[in-house]
Amino acid sequence: MWKQRTPSLLIVLAFGLAFPMSALAGEPEWIRYSLGAKRAMAAANYNEAEDLLKKADKETEGISNNTSHKAITLGNLSLVYKAKGDYPNAELCARQSVDLMRKLEKRDDFSFAVALSNLAGILKDQAKFADAEPMYEGALAIIEKLRGTESSEFATVTDNLALLYMRQGQFERAMPLQEKALITYEKVLGPDHPDVAIALGNLAESYKRTKKEKEAIALLERSLKIMEKVYGDEHPSVATALDNLACFYADQKIFDKAETLELRAIAIYEKTVGAEHPDMAITLDNLCEVYQKQGRDEEGRKLRERSLKIAEKTLGASHPFTLSVKDRLEQMHKAELPVKN
């Protein structure tokens, strides 16, 4: 299964600037915790980011007219929970952030667009597509009005909406949105920005699904190079790029390269996000596919069993990915049963 990375509009102080500066002045501890969480998040230190944001949230209790601070903190916390694979808490915090902004009458404000997009991404990852799509559309309408269609923010939400279409198998619908987002990112952010790498990987999957294999492999290789240049060798985003490239190699029956990349991705995930994360479940299932295609069914079955346990724990028993892994595992078990004469 392909893993798409959603470029998140991390709402720390950049988000806070949408509020009057006076609303954020004189709160050094809240600002310090929020900035520390941003740095921890960028370094994939999600537990540290969570602890700092909980401290920031506690600081809001002593702030008069603290609705803005509370909304920002909850929005950031939702992204940390999402990164950790804790979708129930991610959705809860994101919805609370959106609700607080509605109370502030920020419906035409950039901060509200960011909150809508972030909540939509959390809903999308839980396969709540019907709820997510109008939120993306609402975010796009606000950003177009405030920042224009050539802004990186508009490109981010456009790419996120394309991912929603991809998740539903609508690749022809997703592809033009992805191509436009990539052009904007390269123009505004430069060719070696991590959001460019994410956009390259997502577009590569649409190309692969529409039989443009040569274009897809070039994009995937470039995406991995950018991630390694930006983050080094041990970061979840590098692991995702490795896994995506490995899936392409497996489809091309280049199994030795696919296995090497998958094992490297697994090692990175174990060291960074932990052994029980949704991305780990996906990568384990992908490595199972590599082994199955080589007739290494016993090794693959063990990986898929582990994948299913993680998916059930983190995504829930009714999530489409969990159900798909369960179905594939059942098929493997049936294939192992002796044939009755």
Q: What are the structure tokens assigned to 190, written together? A: 């430069």
Is pLDDT above 70 for 339? no
Average pLDDT over residues 250-257: 94
Residue 130 falls within a domain, yes or no? no
Is pLDDT above 90 for 28? no
CA distances from 267 to 14, 243, 271, 275, 294 (A): 33, 11, 6, 9, 22
pLDDT in tens, 267-320: 999 999 899 998 999 999 999 999 999 999 999 999 999 999 999 988 888 888
pLDDT in tens, 69-94: 899 899 999 999 988 888 899 999 99
**The pTM is what?**
0.78
Residue 140 falls within a domain, yes or no? no
Burial state string for 124-144 with b = 16 or more CB within 10 A and e = fewer than 16: bbbbeeeebbebbebbbebbb
Residue 295 falls within a domain, yes or no? yes
Residue 67 falls within a domain, yes or no? no
At 340, is the secondary structure helix, strand, or coil? coil
Share of residues in the chain with pLDDT > 90 (%): 67
Residue 169 falls within a domain, yes or no? no
Residue 197 falls within a domain, yes or no? no
Residue 291: give its domain's CATH number.
1.25.40.10
Is pLDDT above 50 for 42? yes
Residue 324 falls within a domain, yes or no? yes
**Full residue range of the structural domain in which residue 279 is found:** 235-341
Residue 266 falls within a domain, yes or no? yes
Domain count, the chain: 1
